[in-house]
Chains A and B, each alone.
Chain A
Amino acid sequence: MIKNPVRKEQFVKWVLVAFALSSLLFLFLIFMFILFEGLPLFHKVGLKNIIMGSKWAPTKGFFGIYPMIVSSFFVTFGALFIGAPMGLSCAIYLSEYSGKRMKMFLKPALELLAGIPSVVYGFLGVIYIVPLIRNYIGGSGFSLLATSIILGIMILPTIISISFDSLVSVPKTYREGSFAMGATKWQTIYKVVLPAARSGILASFILGMGRAIGETMAVIMIAGNALRIPTSILDPLRTLTGNIALELAYATGDHRLGLFSTGVVLLIIIMILNYIANFGIKRKM
C-alpha cells in the first residue's frame, strides 16, 4: 500500500482515469473489429453490389443486402406506427392525468415491460400473434405485421419513459398560463405542453426506432426471414439483425465477412439514429 497520502491521491486518480478510458477503449475495439472484418468485402465486391444488391447468396458470391435494409426500416416504422401513439398517450396520461399513487404504481410496472427478454416476446408472438394473423387476416402469419406489433410493444418502455421525462420537465407556469386564459386541460396539453416537449418526444421516437432496428431474437422468431422485399404487410421478411443472427453460427470465409458487412451497415444506421436522438434530448435541456 502507498503510505504517502499525496502520492496515494495521484495513484487513485490515474487508476480512475484508466477506468474511465476503458469505455472509450471498448467502443474503439467494437468499431475496429466490426469494421476490420466488414469493410474488406465492400472493397472486394463493391459498395453498390452490397448496399443496392438484391441477391443474398454468400456462398456463390452474392452479398446484396438491399432487401434487408428496406425490411429493417419497414419493421422499424411499423413498430413506430404502433408504439408511438400508444407510448405517447401513456406518457401524457402519466404526466398530466394520473394521480400520484397511480403514477407510483404505473411507472415501474411499465418499466418492467422493458425487462421481459426479447426471446419471450418472440415466443409469445409465435404462439399468439402469428396464428391470429394466419387465421383471421391471411398469409403464413410470419409477417411484417406480426413483427411490427411485437416490436411496437417492445419499444413502449423507451418511448414512455423518455417522453414522460420531457413532458414533466415542461415548467408548470406554462400550464398555469394556459389555464388562466380559459383553455381546457386538453387544449393546454395539445397547444402548450406537447409543443414545448416536442424535441424530447421526437428523441423518444428515434430511440425507439433504434431499439426496433437493433432487435434480433424476437424478430427472427416471427418475421419469417424470407430473402426478399415484402410487398404487403402480410409478407415475411428478413432484417439486418436477423441476417447476422441466423447465419453467424455456421458461416465461414467470405460468408462470415458478409455478415460483418451487414453489421457495419447496421452499426452506421444505429449511430446516426442515436446521434439524432441525443441531439434532440440535449436541445431540450
Chain B
Amino acid sequence: MRINPRFTNKFVQIGLNFQAFFTVSILVIIVAIICFKGLPYVNFEFIFAYPEDMGRLGGIFPSIAGTILLALLSILFATPLGVGTAIFLTEYTKESLFTKIIRFGVESLAGIPSILYGLFGFIFFVIKLRMGWSLLAGVLTITIMILPTIIRTSEEAIKAVPRNLRMVSYSLSATKWETVTKVVLPSAIPGILTGIMLSVGRAVGETAAVIFTMGSSLRLPTSLMDSGRTMAVHFYILAREGISMEKAYGTSLVLVVSILLINVLAYYIMNKAISKYS
C-alpha cells in the first residue's frame, strides 16, 4: 500500500509536536511534583535551623552551608586553572600536537562519570594524602570534575571575542598579556561566568563524588579538614534510609530550586553575551 506522502508529512509533524510537548511536560511535572510536595515543609526554620535526630526534625542549615562552601571553594580553585587553560589554548599557541593532547585530556575528564571521581578522590585525597573525609577532599575532587566545563565555556567565550579588538590593542603596542587581561577577558567575561554558573549547578547537585570525599557529617564544617554534607547528600540519605519523607521533600525543593535558579541565571548571562556580538 502506498501512503500519500502529504499525509505522512502531516502525521509526522503532529507526532513530533506531541513528542516535544511530552518531553517538556516531563520537566514541568518533575518540577511541579517537587514544588507541591516540598512547599508545605519549607519555611524559615527549615532553612536556618540545625537538624535534630539524624534529620528527622529541625532544618537543613548545615547542609546548605556545606553546599555553598563546597561550590564556592571549588570554583575558587577551578576558575583560574580553567580560564588559564582556555587562554593558553586560544591565545598562546597555534593548533598543534600539544594542544590536541591537552584537548584530549579535557574531553576525557569531561566523560568520566562522577562515581569514578568519587573513587579517585576517596583513594587519593581521603586515604593516600590522609585528608580523611573532609571539605578539602570534596573541594579538590569537585574542582577536577568541573574543570572541563569551565575550560570549554571559557574557550568558546574567548574565541567569540572579535579579532579586531586584539589587533587594535597590539597596534597600541600592548603586549600579549596586556591584551588578554585588558581587552580579551573583559569582553569574554559573560561567557566565562556562564561556565562558572553551570559548574556551580553541577557541584550543588553532585552526590556520588561528594559522599565519598566530603563524607556525610551532619555538623557544620568549620575548617577545611571537617567533614560535612551537601544538600544533595543530605537528601539522598534522608530518602534512601527512609529517615523522613517530609524533610526529604523539603530538601529536594530547596536543592532543585537553587539549581534551576543558578542554571537559568547562567543561560540568561549567555543570551545577553550572544546578543551583544550578533
Contacts and interface: CB of A to CB of B under 8 A. Distances in A.
B92 A241 contact: no
Interface in B84-137: 84-85, 87-89, 92, 101-102, 105-109, 111-120, 122-124, 128
B177 A124 contact: no
A93 interface: yes
B239 A119 contact: yes
A152 B205 CA distance: 19
A221 B239 contact: yes
B111 A210 contact: yes
Nearest to A126: B239
Interface string A174-215: 000000000111110000000000000000000100110111
Given A17-B88, A29-B124, A266 B207 contact: no
A120 B26 contact: no
B208 A267 contact: no
A249 B212 CA distance: 7
B235 A259 contact: no
Category for how many chain B residues contact A = 35 or more
A90 B80 CA distance: 37
A37 B123 contact: yes
A62 B108 CA distance: 32
A21 interface: yes
A258 interface: no
B118 A12 contact: no
B206 A117 contact: yes
A196 to B, nearest CB: 18
A111 B116 CA distance: 24
Contacts of A33: 120, 123-124, 128
Given A97-B17, A115-B205, A19 B116 contact: no
Nearest to A248: B212
A19 B208 contact: no
A185 B13 contact: yes
Contacts of B212: 248-249
Contact of B263 (A15, A26, A115): A115
B81 interface: yes
Given A123-B252, A186-B5, A187-B9, A93 B17 contact: yes
A214 B113 contact: yes
Contacts of B123: 33-34, 37, 260
A163 to B, nearest CB: 13
Contacts of A111: 263, 267
Nearest to A88: B19
Given A16-B88, A156-B23, A120 B256 contact: yes
A117 B111 contact: no
B114 A216 contact: yes
A150 to B, nearest CB: 11
Given A110-B23, A248-B119, 9 more contacts: A16-B88, A20-B89, A117-B207, A119-B207, A184-B5, A211-B113, A221-B239, A245-B115, A260-B119
Interface of B: 5-6, 8-9, 12-13, 15-17, 19-20, 22-24, 26-27, 30, 33-34, 80-81, 84-85, 87-89, 92, 101-102, 105-109, 111-120, 122-124, 128, 144, 147-148, 151, 175-177, 201, 204-208, 211-212, 232, 235-236, 239-240, 248, 252, 255-256, 259-260, 262-264, 267
Q: Which 4 A-B pairs have the closest CB atoms?
A: A214-B113, A117-B205, A19-B84, A274-B111
